[in-house]
Amino acid sequence: MYNILMVDDEENIRSLVREYAEFIGHTVTEAENGMEAVNLCKENDFDIVIMDVMMPKMDGFSACKEIRKYKKIPILMLSARGEEYDKLFGFEVGIDDYVVKPFSPKELMARANAIIARSTSSAEDTTQKTMTLGNVRIDALGRNVYVDDEKVALTPKEYDLLYYLGINKNIVFSREQLLNAVWGYEFIGEDRTVDTHIRMLRSNLGEYRDYIVTIRGVGYKLEI
C-alpha cells in the first residue's frame, strides 16, 4: 500500500485521515506545519502528501513550492476555502488536487489513490518518447514541453492534460471524460477544474493557444 504524509495543524483532522488510511492498509506520517513537512520530504520518500493550506510557520502553498525543489511527490491540498482563485493558485504552484473541508475520509482516500496511480502510470508510460504538435514538442521521458524550442513550465496536471489531448489529437472529449482520464476519478460538481486547467494550459502555449479547441456544449479537443 502507500506511504502518506498528512500535514495539518489540527490534530483531529490528522487523526481522522490517519485512522481511515491505516484502516485500509496505508502507512501515515504526521506533520503539524509546512516547515516540518518540507524537512520530512527531504529525508523520506512518500507516495503522496495530503496538506492543509493555512498552517503556522509555513503555509501549504509555500511548503508545496519548497517540496517541488527536491522531489516530485504528488500533493493533495486541503482547505476550508473553496473559491476558484485559491484552487487556481494551488494548481499554479503544482498541486495535483484540491479538496475543500469538511470532507469525507473515504472520498479523500479515493482521490489520493487515483492521484498516486495516475502519477505512477505517467512515470512508467514512455512508449511515445517525443511528440510534435505543430510548434509544440513534448518530451515524455523528461515530462518537458517546448514551444518554439523554448521550454515552458507546466504544472503536473497541465502536462498530463496536454499529453492526453496530444496522443488523442482531433478527438473531442467531454469534461467528464477528461476528468476520468487525466485525474483518474470522477469529480462531483467540480468539472470547472478542467476549464481552469485548459485556461492555464492555453496561457502557457502562448500564440499557439488555439491548438486547444473548445467544442461548445461538449468539451475540448487538440487540433493542429
Q: What is the pLDDT of residues 113-161, one digit of tens each?
A: 888 877 765 555 545 578 899 999 999 888 899 999 999 999 888 999 9
Determine the CATH number of domain 127-222.
Answer: 1.10.10.10
Please count the residues of the chain. 224
Q: For position 189, what pLDDT does the model report?
A: 43
Using the predicted structure, report yes or no on whether residue 209 has a pLDDT greater than 60.
yes
Question: Which bin fits 184, alpha (ψ -120 to 50), beta or left (φ > 0)?
Answer: left
Give the pLDDT confidence of 74-84 residue by residue, as tens digits.
999 998 876 67
Q: For position 127, what pLDDT does the model report?
A: 52
pLDDT band at 177 (very low <50, low <70, confident <90, very high): confident
Structure-block grid coordinates of residue 64: 508545496
Distance separating alpha carbons of residues 65 and 89, to the nearest angstrom:
12
* Beta strands 48-52; 3-7: pairing state: parallel
Q: What are the boundaries of each domain within the chain? A: 3-123, 127-222
pLDDT higher at 82 or 49: 49
SS (H, E, C) the chain: CCEEEEECCCHHHHHHHHHHHHHCCCEEEEECCHHHHHHHHHHCCCCEEEEECCCCCCCHHHHHHHHHHHCCCCEEEEECCCCHHHHHHHHHCCCCEEEECCCCHHHHHHHHHHHHHHHHHHHHCCCCCEEEECCEEEECCCCEEEECCEEECCCHHHHHHHHHHHHCCCCCEEHHHHHHHHHCCCCCCCCHHHHHHHHHHHHHHHHHHHHEEEECCCEEEECC
For the entire predicted model, the pTM comes to 0.62
Determine the CATH number of domain 3-123.
Answer: 3.40.50.2300
Q: For position 188, what pLDDT does the model report?
A: 46
